[in-house]
Structure 1
Amino acid sequence: MRTPLRDTWTYRIAAFLVVGVVFTACGDDSPDPAPVPDAGTEVDAGTEVDAGSDDAGVPDAGDNEPDAGSGDGGEPDAGTSCEPSSVTDLLDNGEWDPRFSIGGVSGMDGHVPHIYDLAKTPSGDLLATGYFRWFGAQASTPLIRHQDGQWRPEPRTWSQEIPGGAGFSAVAAKDDTTLALATNDTFGDRGGEVWIQSPDGVQVIGHFTGLVRTMAYVRDELWVAGQFQLEENGAIGLAIWDGTAWKLPPGGPADGSVYELMLQGDDVWVGGAFTRVGGISSNKVAKWNGSRWESYNFPIAGNGVYALTLGDDGTLYAGGTFAYDFNADGVGSIARWNGVRWEMLDGGVSTGFYPGVVTDLVFNQGKLHVGGCFNFVNGQGYGNPLALQANALALWSPESGWENWPQAISPNRTVWYAPSFCGDEPPVTFAVWEVPIQRFLLDGDRIYVAGTLPSIDGAASQSIVSYEGGQWRAEGAEPGHGLSGGAQMLAVGGEQCTVHALGDISHAGGAAVPRTVLQFTDAGWQALGELPDMECLDLAVNAQGDIYVACIDWDSVQSQLLTWSGTEWTSLGDLSAHGFISKLTLDSLGRPWLTSMVESTSRVVRWTGTQFELVADGLDGPVFALALRPENDDPDRPAFVVAGEFTHAGEVPARRIAHWNGTTFEALGDGLTTSPITAAYGPNGIFASTNHEQDMDGNPVQGRLMLGHWDGTAWRELATPENGMPGPLNEEQGGVHSFRKLAFAGTDLVVVGTIFPADGGPTHAYVFNGERFLPIGGGVSALTMDDIALTPDGIWLGGNIAEAGRGENLLPTVGMAHFRRRAAAP
């Protein structure tokens, strides 16, 4: 099953993006004195080319061919170029690398993949369903099955269209081949259909507004529960399909939502937000014993009961969002039935000052396993020495009370947008469906945990993991080389032109990694030693393989330029006199150059090999971009361009961009009318991209350059329809393109950013060949595009990337994308 590229999260919510629901998708990048940095094989660290002479005062557009050059005696060698030999040939004969999938399941760009529900068939197969469309590198329906010891996509494809195209929120199995499914539209008005899938095909048996949370077969009848109203008979919260028609619960309807169904022998327990069900009064919890309803009236205030389970001794436990006083004691949301009434369980769960939320419960091996949205158990978190920290998972036993769930740590990252719902928001938001820890399923002694979680501990499998015997295990698809988190910084260097990555990454290729630089080799990702506890802003690697990372040490409140010795990270030297680093790049011989800021003034500094040396000073504002001219008569004194939020470069008036000719600053015409995002210096001259901004009256600032080229006398906009760049989506509502990174391969300019063509064409990644913009491999689907690196075998892109390609060539590529020369057929 393949899905066209236009069916992406960002396209489907584009109208919302324009007005700022997700600013990064249709807006521009806000300037920052230390933005997410340039890195990798940048325009200013490539092969030596002439970009115009200095004697004209202002650089011309340049017209010479690249020349690798050679170092002077005693100087470092520039090394071999890592650029592709021909970008044009690569675009004509390239393909996206399929190796960068992840474990578990994955989906389109934007909204995080989600497993909403788990079920077991009579023969013991496990089912998982939700919102996803990839199983490893394989296209998948939003339903997977665990059979004979391994997960695989449910092999059926449906002629029946899923309303909204998102997936399913609930699943139940009548037998091994007959399943009930409730559809879910993540993006549109909440509503859907109830399906029966059998060997004969799909039968749509019901339609509803709202969402279904759980379903179960009870003596061959399908019970459907959730926050919904069924169109066919008007049932609210709970409806029953008897095989031919819909009916109300025995005795009468529920008068509110039903979030939980628990089956125990002939008994059916229901939990929710109702006050009556089956003709009896019973607040939030009731039981159908096969012949009549029994009340377990739950008087504690709150949104409702989301989970029920029974202990080994038959004690009934309830979880959800409830408290005696939401503002006073800050605890609640888990209770037990003592045989007469409900009582809060040992201080409950807390987010700190307020009660937490419990989304599911399971009792196993004498302990109650608790999942949801909470930070503490055993009382209010702050100022309470008895409270235990807990990251959404905890254990409780009748003998010893609360304890930590072993290894239940998840400082784990994802490239997708995860709504920050906890489950205690107003019911109209359907918040409980978006809690990261969503569902448990007990199979023997193994507990499956599902939701939007990217991983737990070392088990990196998006949306589903399992726990048994004190160990967490990955579930779903086997991982490829994809990343948990995006590669915000890329660099290429060393004799083998090795790709290096740095970013907010917790797992690479399914393995947990420290916060450090990763190297991609034939064996996959290799992590260097953990970086010091600093904020690291930029990455660069030279042809000799020297690795540099620019960081700020907030403990000592100063910048450090770190290098990898082969065994540890060491500082190059004292930078305290130069303030805080904002940008890092390399000169043509592989030596670091920096921009930094001292109080309100920025400067350019270089590393001579023994010390930091001031090159230029007097920029009266922060610098966002530094790009060196690739070819210079004296490699110690290259020309360069800086861009930022300044008005003067030394004594020279220069609005937001200035050129250093080797001895002095000079203006580039009237400068830039809006804040710059990035700049590049290549064989064809100087290029800059800027933000879309509005004046005090709310009107767009005129003269903004999406991608401007300094032709030697004036700035010229390149990103025009005449040059092959299609107009932006929803342009009339303020939709714009913005280019975040630029990198030269010879005279071709690789550009990435927020690019949403109005015609539904390729997104986010293009090459400008001097005449036209050409898409890279059908485009990339991503929340952010953060960096570019070039190697002889292709173009590497980093960011919050989920997919690449179009149509039949669409594939998952998570955190990283690599467009390579097409592999020869065997």
Structure 2
Amino acid sequence: MYAGGALFGVGTQRANGLARWDTLTQTWTPLGNTTCASGDCIAEIHSISFDGNNMYVGGEFSQLGGVPANDLAKWDGSQWSAVGNFAKGPVDAIAVKDGLVYVGGAFDSIDEWNGQTWRRIGRLDGATNPHVNALVFWGDALYAGGLFSRVNQQAVGNLARWDGTTWTAPPGASEVFAIAPAGNRAFIAVSDAILQLKGSHLTQLGTGALVGFLDVAVGDNVVYRAGYAGLPIGLKGIEQWDGVQWQMLGSSVSPGPWNYDTAVQAIAAHGKDIYIGGMFSIVGDKPASNFAKWTNPAPTQPSLVAPKNKQEVKRQQPTLKWTGAAGATSYLVQLYADKRNGKLVLDTTVNGTQLQTPTLKPGKTYFWHVRACNANACGVWSNWRRFRVK
């Protein structure tokens, strides 16, 4: 795993901007050193993307590993090199596909490198200091997000789609900070919400007044969000979407060097493990110097909602409902006739938080409970409830 940013050290070693974490040996290795030619450059890595054995890194620097490179460089596994004569400004987003490299950042264009020459594929305007924060491939197209209202004079709303020939406009949003594709959906982090794009439909996941979202990621079909924790109505930690609402992942993050700057700026999901980076000194009750790992435990216990306990229901196919459990990706539902663990009527797994039963017999009493599961483990069963079919 690779981590970039305004890094001065990892573990006990000095590291300027970029380092590699060996998940087997649990050790850090510095990888190259970023340097600046002028005093106003803060020398840091903003984006990392891979193409086979090649790694492309972008940020704000004039050298990497002793090799002159203006804000963009390539690592081939043994040495660094500049990527052509690129010199447009700090690079905040990189996407690579079929040998082509696409970059965006704190400049008014989106550019493509074919291994020999650069060409501008999109000119941004319609905003003060238009820029790109995110570039990702989703399906057969490149998606760009940031702060801009037009690309090549095509009206867009801070989100644009490139099919290799032309730019088109998916549903618009406020400034886009991150895009995370997942199958036939993509999740988008804007300042005050996490949005889901499916086809041409853009919807918001959950409600609320929180602001300051910076990143979104998907792991094991679970969506995670992060952002500024120091804001009065900012996110206090990492949250995950349980299909119904956002739930805190563990407990909050605590101040970094300056309280108002406390933030989780990046999330990387690898199976059941979630890695976060940013500006913080404590995650939950554990010291963590700006970098931490969360191993997804068993989900929490769900609570049964309907039917109410000892309720008499009129329908022979009542709908069972329960609350979402933090960390859950599925739910195991069991329904018994006559008594707890009596005659098994239903034993099934569902992804949501409700289930319509098969046809039940009038005059009988039924007992049911629910257990939340994820790829790592299943949690404890809910309390029992019973109901009678009239």
2:194 pairs with one of 334, 339, 348: 334
| Structure 2 residue aligned with 1:196 | 74
Q: Is 1:409 equivalent to 2:252 in the alignment?
A: yes
* Secondary structure, counterpart of 1:206 in structure 2: coil
- The structure-2 alpha-carbon separation of the partners of 1:451 and 1:374, relative to structure 1 and needing over 3 Å to count, comes to closer
User: Equivalent residue for 1:153?
Assistant: 29
2:290 is aligned with 1:463: yes
After superposition, residues 530-541 of structure 1 pair within 5 angstroms as none
1:362 and 1:180, CA in 2 relative to 1: closer, same or farther beyond 3 A? closer
**Which protein has greater RCO, CA pairs closer than 8 Å, 6+ apart?**
1
Choose the corresponding residue for 1:242, options 87, 102, 114. 114
1:199-238, aligned counterparts within 5 Å? Answer: 199-203=78-82, 205-209=85-89, 211-226=90-105, 228-229=106-107, 236-238=108-110
Distance across 1 between alignment mates of 2:212 and 2:142 = 23
**Residue 264, structure 1, aligned to residue 138, structure 2:** yes
Which residue does the alignment assign to 1:447? 274
1:282 aligns with 2:156: yes
Report deviation, 1:460: 2.8
Per-residue CA deviation, residues 390-444 of structure 1 (Å, 9 max, x unaligned), is: 514222233x222222x13223x55x3x3735xxxxxxxxxxxxx6211112223
Q: Distance in 2 between matches of 1:339 and 1:201?
A: 40
Code of the residue aligned with 1:179 in structure 2: it is: Y
**Alpha-carbon distance in structure 1 between the residues aligned to 2:239 and 2:219:** 13
Q: Is the 8 A contact 1:455 1:464 kept in 2?
A: no
How far apart are residue 290 of structure 1 and its match?
4.4
Amino acid at match of 1:238: I
Q: Distance in 1 between matches of 2:73 and 2:185?
A: 35
Structure 2 partner of 1:94? none
CA distance in 1, matches of 2:226, 2:18: 23
Tell me what 1:688 maps to.
none
In structure 1, how many angstroms separate the alpha carbons of the residues matched to 2:208 and 2:187? 12
Could you tell me how far 1:306 is from its partner in structure 2?
A: 0.7
Which one of the candidate residues 260, 268, 282 is aligned to 1:420?
A: 260
* 1:316 aligned partner: 186
Conserved 8 A contact 1:459-1:465: no
* Conserved? CA contact 1:170–1:181, under 8 Å: yes
User: Alpha-carbon deviation of 1:292?
Assistant: 4.3
Shift of 1:192: 5.5
Q: 1:341 Cα shift?
A: 4.1
- Structure (1 or 2) with the larger CA radius of gyration: 1
Change beyond 3 A, Cα 1:317–1:288: same
**Structure 1 residue 317, shift from structure 2 partner:** 2.6
Question: For residues 468 and 155 of structure 1, do their structure 2 counterparts lie closer, same or farther at Cα, with a shift above 3 Å needed?
Answer: same
Cα displacement (A) at 1:157: 5.7
1:61-76, aligned counterparts within 5 Å?
none
Residue deviations 1:521-552, cap 9 Å, x none?
xxxxxxxxxxxxxxxxxxxxxxxxxxxxxxxx
Q: Quote the residue 2:345 is aligned against.
A: none
Q: 1:391 aligns with which of 236, 242, 265?
A: 236
- For residues 181 and 340 of structure 1, the distance between their equivalents in structure 2, rounded to whole angstroms, comes to 31
- Provide closer, same or farther for how the CA distance between residues 290 and 397 of structure 1 changes in structure 2, counting only shifts above 3 A: farther
Q: Which amino acid counterpart does residue 337 of structure 1 have in structure 2?
A: L
Task: Compare the two structures and name the one with the higher helix fraction.
Answer: 1
- Structure 1 152/178 Cα, relative in aligned 2: closer, same or farther at 3 Å? same
**Aligned counterparts of 2:199 and 2:51: Cα–Cα separation in 1:** 33
Aligned residues: 283
- Which residue in the other structure is 1:370 paired with? 225
- 3-state SS of the aligned residue for 1:283? coil
Q: Which runs of 5+ in 2 are unaligned?
A: 63-68, 299-390
For 2:140 and 2:288, how far apart are their aligned partners in 1?
36
Residue equivalent to 2:176: 305
Deviations 1:581-635 (Å, cap 9, x if unpaired)? xxxxxxxxxxxxxxxxxxxxxxxxxxxxxxxxxxxxxxxxxxxxxxxxxxxxxxx
Does structure 1 conserve the Cα–Cα contact (< 8 Å) formed by 2:252 and 2:283?
Answer: yes
Over aligned residue pairs, what C-alpha RMSD do you find? Answer: 3.3
Instruction: Name the residue aligned to 2:65.
Output: none
Deviations 1:196-245 (A, max 9, x none): 34445432632234x3222122222221122x22xxxxxx1422222222
Deviations 1:537-591 (A, max 9, x none): xxxxxxxxxxxxxxxxxxxxxxxxxxxxxxxxxxxxxxxxxxxxxxxxxxxxxxx
> For residues 95 and 251 of structure 2, what CA distance do their matches in structure 1 show?
29
Structure 1 partner of 2:167: 293
- Evaluate the alpha carbon distance shift between residue 170 and residue 315 of structure 1 in structure 2; reply closer, same or farther with a 3 A threshold: closer
With the length of structure 1 as denominator, give the TM-score of the two structures.
0.31
The residue that corresponds to 1:134 in the other structure is 9
List per-residue Cα deviations over 1:171-203 (Å, max 9, x = no partner): 223343543333259xxxxx9632234445432
Residue 154 of structure 1, CA deviation: 3.4
Deviation at 1:259, TM superposition (A): 0.9
Q: Which has the higher strand share?
A: 2
Per the TM alignment, residue 449 of structure 1 is displaced from its structure 2 partner at its CA by: 1.0
State the 4+ residue runs in structure 1 displaced beyond 6 angstroms. none
Counterpart-to-counterpart distance in 2, 1:262 and 1:203: 22
Counterpart of 1:144?
19
Q: SS state of the match for residue 420, structure 1?
A: helix
CA contact (8 A) 1:181 1:197 kept: no
Aligned to 1:357: 212
- Amino acid of the residue matched to residue 141 of structure 1? N
Could you report, residue by residue, the CA deviation over 1:44-86 in whole angstroms, capped at 9, with x for unpaired residues?
Answer: xxxxxxxxxxxxxxxxxxxxxxxxxxxxxxxxxxxxxxxxxxx
Percent identity among equivalent residues? 16
Which residue does the alignment assign to 1:13? none
CA distance in 1, matches of 2:235, 2:23: 34
* Structure 2 CA distance for aligned equivalents of residues 289 and 276 of structure 1: 16
The one-letter amino acid paired with 1:134 is: G
Structure 2 letter corresponding to 1:420:
Y
Q: 1:445 to 1:294 in 2, by over 3 A?
A: farther
Paired residue secondary structure (2:283): coil
